[in-house]
Structure 1
């Protein structure tokens, strides 16, 4: 990595018009406190509300804001990938745009990242979700760990810090964002976890139901498990 004192906050957005101004104000407060240069890269996933208009206004009024707007809805993983492609730094911070992730956790996560980690994963030890959503997440994490043995408590937490060069080498597929830790580990990444704050949704509604998430997750697990068993690597003894 060449520029370890700048980070990019990548934020997929779908119908979050009432959260974005407050979210950016909190990101600015947290990011400025780090002493690093930073930028916020919003990726609008073809929102049907006024999210893109709000993002355009933020970009007009704040030099740190850049954005990508999709022509059609492509999903969260594709939005993350577009943000990684657009980012102008070697360090990526990912988070949701619904204000449940707390930007105030960014400084501590960057500090952990600076201690020699390639990836830092947020752990929502005290989740502010409905009972059924917490149960579904607990079951999902247990099943995922059984399949992948990634050792992560809360891979579903979108608040993560990662090396961009490693992210750019990941295989890209639908719902890949749910498997960032194991995909990074397959590249030899050193990963740590930081307990982070989790908040109730400020405005808007969740875009995913438990049944939809579970059905897609099981299908994806088999695909990731296949990738793990088919991974190849080599060590060079000599070359000229």
Structure 2
């Protein structure tokens, strides 16, 4: 297993089936992979739709929160359960095209992948959302960039690929998925960006609204600024026996 694809989903019964099919087609010729859908306490038929697909798609796995934990909690649960060293994420609403996945995991699975590269982040081009949602997102991204300097135009894009171990070492908190570039940079990794397309939502409705997201985002931004400033920078290296004597202060001779 070289690749795990994690999908957080809440009440996406009308979208999740087509999304899983699209992922299977997009990744069929790539590497051995698994698909992990984390059902965040859906109250519709999301779980039943997934159960009906397991025989056709044996790489499909499903986790479920009994109470809603939010997108970051769902992503963290999926990454924790993943069996592969590289993980891709995309949203369960079908707005992230699965055809974009190879462009994200390719740089990390390449034989000449830089060892310091830990995150490939998608950035949406031609967003298919309402004008108010695009405006709110642009404002939030500009504010975040100015304060965190993470060099990312669009952290709200669900399409991302990263090294599993590096992700699990990041500070864990609600809404952390919106600050992954800054958090990876904080831990000394390098990141890269890929422009990706975006689709209109086919069915259902968003689980978020601009006001709630904005109020929570201000608190989160302050918290991430604190985490970045208070990071531990000292690194220890093992010393062979006898080497410590070279660092000992010289004794004053009588």
Fold match (TM-score > 0.5)? yes
- For this pair of structures, how many residues does the alignment match? 235
Deviation at 1:238, TM superposition (A): 5.5
Q: Does 1:30 align with 2:3?
A: no
Cα separation, 2, equivalents of 1:212 and 1:165:
31
Instruction: Report if aligned partners of 2:9, 2:37 keep a CA contact under 8 Å in 1.
Output: yes
1:112, CA displacement in angstroms? 3.0
Pairwise mapping of residues 200-211 of structure 1 onto structure 2 (< 5 A)? 200-211=200-211
* 2:108 aligned with 1:103: no
Deviation at 1:126, TM superposition (A): 1.2
Q: Give structure 1 stretches of 5+ with no counterpart.
A: none
Q: Distance in 1 between matches of 2:32 and 2:237?
A: 40
Partner of 1:51: 46
Highest CA radius of gyration, 1 or 2? 2
Q: Which runs of 5+ in 2 are unaligned?
A: 241-254
Alignment root-mean-square deviation, CA:
1.3
Distance in structure 1 (CA, Å) of the matches to 2:46 and 2:150: 35
Per-residue displacement from partner, 1:183-236 (whole Å, max 9, x unpaired)?
A: 111111211111101000011101111111110000100111111111112133
Q: CA deviation at 1:142?
A: 0.4
Aligned counterpart, 1:19: 15
SS in 1 for 2:174: coil
Q: Residues 1-240 of structure 1 correspond to what in structure 2 (within 5 A)?
A: 6-34=2-30, 36-113=31-108, 114=110, 115-116=113-114, 117-236=117-236, 239-240=239-240
Work out the CA distance in 1 between the residues paired with 2:180 and 2:236: 27
Question: 3-state DSSP class of the match of 1:173?
Answer: coil
Provide the C-alpha distance between the structure 2 equivalents of 1:102 and 1:123, rounded to a whole number of angstroms: 12
Q: Deviations over 1:3-24 (max 9, x none)?
A: 7xx1111001100001111101
Task: For residue 118 of structure 1, report the CA deviation from its aligned partner.
Answer: 1.5
C-alpha separation between the residues in 1 aligned to 2:79 and 2:237?
A: 33
Alpha-carbon contact 2:86-2:105 (below 8 Å) kept: no
Q: Distance in 2 between matches of 1:75 and 1:58?
A: 24
